[in-house]
Homo-oligomer: A and B are copies of this chain.
Amino acid sequence: MKKREVQASVKDERLVKKRRDQMIKGAVTLFIEKGFHRTTTREIAKASGFSIGTLYEYIRTKEDVLYLVCDSIYDQVSDRLQKDLDTSCGTLESLKTGIADYFRVVDELQDEVLVMYQEVKSLSKDALPYVLKKEIEMVGMFEQIISRCVENKELELTEDQIKMSAHNIFVQGQMWAFRRWSLKKMYSLEDYIQLQTELLIQGMRRAETLISNI
């Protein structure tokens, strides 16, 4: 599945990229502050540094802005994960690094991640699949990292358990952004990473024990 094209009236591709970057940056701030629905297109234009007319030279509907924002955030997180996947070698250590790295990106982009999760549902039936696909891909990356550990006999897990574990890692990462108001009272990022990594990995190792006990 290719990226969904957002139509622009302006032809100069380089300019389109530049203006859209301005736009995403401006919009994220506003979405964080007041949410997608309470943000007006005029505000987005202003925050992006151009007029309302110019805004509409680069998108067709307000929803396009949301799509662009979500897409960009996913890309950022996804890129970082990809790097870990590329260097993962099937050791538990590389899995831990992957998890820690992922949690750290989420921490850096916590506002963005938050916005994305609170607003995706506002995407039309049209754009939603493109965004959800990105998510599936990311969970898939964790599956691969774990799979390598399994192949490498570092872990012994069924397919189902691999999937669920990957899913859990993904979710616990998001939670750091999602429930920070509650979590940050108790833990620093590094504490959280360590605790969750323990719980996650020990969970997996136990699962493996259980299997061997059957």
Contacts and interface: CB of A to CB of B under 8 A. Distances in A.
Chain A contact residues: helix, strand, loop or mixed: helix
B179 A167 contact: yes
Contacts of A97: none
Contact of A121 (B35, B171, B196): B35
A195 B135 CA distance: 22
Interface residues of A, number: 39
Contact of A198 (B136, B171, B210): B210
Contacts of A150: none
Given A203-B202, A206-B202, A160 B139 contact: no
A164 B182 contact: no
A195 B118 CA distance: 27
Contacts of A50: none
